[in-house]
Structure 1
Amino acid sequence: MIALSPLHRVPTQADLLVTHEAIHPFVHRTPILTSTSLDELTGARLSFKCENFQRIGAFKMRGGASAALRFTEAERERGLATHSSGNHAQAVARAAQVLGVPAYIVMPHDAPRVKVAAVKGYGAEITYCNNTPHERQAALEEVVARTGAAFIHPFDDYGVVAGQATAAMELIEDVDRVLDYIITPVGGGGLLSGTALAARYFSIRAKVFGAEPEGVDDAARSLKSGKIEQNETNHTVSDGLRTHLGERTFPIIHKYVTDIFVVSDEETVAAMRLIWERMKIIVEPSCSVPLAAILRYPEVFRDKHVGIILTGGNVDVDRLPFG
């Protein structure tokens, strides 16, 4: 198993290459799928990087593994800790399981049941809290003080960013022609900032876009204002996108991301249903926001080859947002 050095600055091209090699035992190289019917509907050529087929069912496994490998063995022995509503929680729990160390996860009371069950299945100890940034942080600090576990931030960590970048690296390498655009969802910005770096280092011309729900549109506002904006609520069907950008992710996004599009929950659910029906694969609402943006802004994407990172498929099939 390859040990990784801690990252205290924006990852370089070399950092991304060694990270991709190091996390290989933890992740799948996920497939790229296409859909003629969705191409016809959008007027674009779409290549879907299917991280819903990733281990733990989401791209977060990449960042979790990358960050876990940057601690020393002595640091890891005391366990890994994080706070998350679901997919990052699963990633840290699974990384700890593979490494043979404890995992301590803080999750909000209203986290999706399917994600809570998965975290428990990986053997993690769960501490529940109210779903606010303050409550999450307070609960995490108590857990770390009690256990001495090493904290892996869900997104605002250069090690996490380097891991998330590997999805776009594979997308760029595996598509059958040059990409014009790459679009990802954005919550805390780990995936979007990593994708932006991957495009800068490894793509001939791909511009990078983000997409987020209008109920938590801090990233779009931040890109326009030039500073990190906050959300007053976290009301959206896309539970994985309810947080705001971080001090490490925002400068990368501000420098390298072309634009961030905002869509309604209704548009997201419609896009989710289209993916289920046309591609015959399971995706969660957060995952569907980029397709919703392409459908809402067809003039931007028409006649372009667009890479879309389908971020995850951990959805409670007993509580689907469509009938």
Structure 2
Amino acid sequence: MVILVRLLRVALFTILCIVVFAALFEFLNAVPTYLFLPDHVEGGVAYRSGMVLFGALWWGVVFRAPGYLFYGTVPLLIVLGVTEWRSMKSWRWYLAIWFIAGLVATGFPISYPLRLAAMLLAAAAASYLYWLLAGKSAGDRLDGWRSRERYGSFKFVNYAAYAVLAYLAYQLAGYVYHGGKLIWVSYVSEPGPGTPPFQVKFERRLTASQKVAMMDFPDPASCLKKAETDAPPLDRLKEMDWDRIDNTDDAEVCMFRLLGSYENLSYATDWFEAQGFRVPDNFSSARPNAERDGTQRISASYSIRKNGPKFPTRGIVRRAFRSIPYGMIVNATWSKDGKQLLWVETDFSTL
């Protein structure tokens, strides 16, 4: 039980420090721009500098922190679990760990000195806080547990701690596997555009995550459930396998593959409704929204608050994070004549 309690404490302190890092990073990142300005004009409205800085803190806690928690909690817990196991009590270890985590989380802002300085200060504060709460006592309870185990007082309940460690190892394996695919598509073999050829808005450069999705879903068949009926080919395109969708890039690639397989946009409304989306009349196949450049857009919405996250369909923790937004909107844009799908974009609505 001792190990389990300690791991829970480490997990809670890690989450707290990630939130603190996110808030401080946004705050410090805003200081150079707004601290010496009496007012900041945005969209014709003047904001007092103090309110802008408060807004940066709010943004860090409400919007930035969930992303850091989603992607960073498990890797940090694994590293900090090692510090517990090795009884690493020096604050220097934790400073280095949080510096590296901060660099990864903020995209290695080496070319942006002010952003880099904000990251370093936020990471230093988070590392010191973690060291005060857990780092300076790392391994103490574990040493006591080892002593009791040596003298025969080990209890079966401690196996729960091993279950937690096994879960963390499983998560780490997933990160390593996905990281390997990111490296593969970035430096070894870039996937082809697939069928129909996947493209993004304004032909922007594809991210590594999008390339992985293109590799995993190269054609419409790879996005469909296993055939259980002899449905007509067009109806089969509505049977998207959401169980295989892990992230937004997977969803956008598969939706593009399936929607782009139709001959025109007239099928889009039925397709979205078959997936559980709601399509407003003014953004439907019958009345698509005409953009300034003449392209035609169809929008579909999905209520996460009412139905839960559309993806991923498994994993309590991942679904919990995906439940933070209250809605999801998909915009599918076709060519001027409505015969070619140009791109698919997914946005999330968050309070």
| TM-score, with structure 2 as normaliser | 0.24
Report which of the two has the higher share of strand: 1
Report which of the two has the higher share of helix: 2
Larger radius of gyration: 2
| TM-score, with structure 1 as normaliser | 0.26
